[in-house]
Amino acid sequence: MCARRGRPTVCERQEQPGFTMMGSFAEFLALPRADRNLSAIPPKVSFVEAAALGCRFTTAYRAVVQQGGLGIKSEEEARGTTVAVFGCGGLRLSCVMIAKAFGAGRIVAVDVSDDALAKAREVGATDVVNAKRANVRQQVMDLTDGAGSDVTVDAAGFKATCEDAVHCARRGGRMVQVGLPVGGPDPIVPMAAVAGKELEIVGSHGCAAEDIPAILSLVEDGRLDPKKLIGREVTLEEGARALMDMDRGSPIGMVMVTKFTEMPASRY
């Protein structure tokens, strides 16, 4: 069904290494339909840069460029476009970087962490809003001269981020839901405002394999630098510990496994 409609990101028979099948940390992987799902890494793109793209940058690309509509705008239109990104973590920072790569004139990052907001400024945000200390909706409206943002992206999936993203969209604007809710209260979406302001609420899920070459080209051309989100490089054993540590919090930067040893440190 999804193949006939050209919508692989919503395929009812998706297979993803590390999600629906074994993989991700294996040395070798047998990939179904490799003719469709594999992309060659350009000579100017390193293994580390390519690895850093998934899944945060690939997911951000679909959310901002395709579902958010930034990819169909001319350079002049993009310069006049405001993109507001709500939420915390690597996906939000990737959305900021993708928006910058496609020439968005104003990029507003909203978060509750000063460290995350500082990183957002470093990688391309023109404005930041700390949701703990400011009225988010009023602040975004003030930054956009009362109009609201052309594109808003909920990159976290929380009740507050979803609601703020809808309320901060301009008349005729588009809200993209890419953050996946993981529990908690459901958001209250003001459908009267959606109708009255003719808002578009669009879902975004993953990224199609056929779009990977375009994202690799952004890296090759220097428009996108995924290395900016690499926090540290570790061994495979240290990487396993880093995964366990995520129960206590998520680092701002990626932890990249780049160092391997022939013999494990453990006798097991």
Q: What is the pLDDT of residues 52-98, one digit of tens each?
A: 998 899 999 999 999 999 998 998 999 999 999 998 788 999 999 99
pLDDT score at 1: 55
Whether the predicted pLDDT of 23 surpasses 60: yes
Sign of CA dihedral 190, 195, 153, 134: negative
Tell me what percent of the residues of the chain surpass a pLDDT of 70.
94
pLDDT score at 32: 81
Q: How confident is the model at residue 268 (pLDDT cuts 50, 70, 90)?
A: very low
Whether the predicted pLDDT of 15 surpasses 60: yes
Strand ranges (DSSP E) for the chain?
82-86, 106-111, 127-130, 149-154, 169-177, 200-203, 230-235, 254-259
Closest CA to 109 of 98, 90, 93: 93
The answer to whether the beta carbons of residues 56 and 215 sit under 8 Å apart is: no
Joined together, the tokens standing for residue 91 give 């996906």
pLDDT score at 2: 64
* pLDDT tens digits for range 196-254: 999 999 999 999 989 999 999 999 999 999 999 998 899 888 988 998 998 887 788 88
Average pLDDT over residues 121-145: 96
Q: How far apart are CA 75 and CA 261, in angstroms?
A: 47
pTM: 0.91
Query: Helix or strand or coil: residue 95?
Result: helix
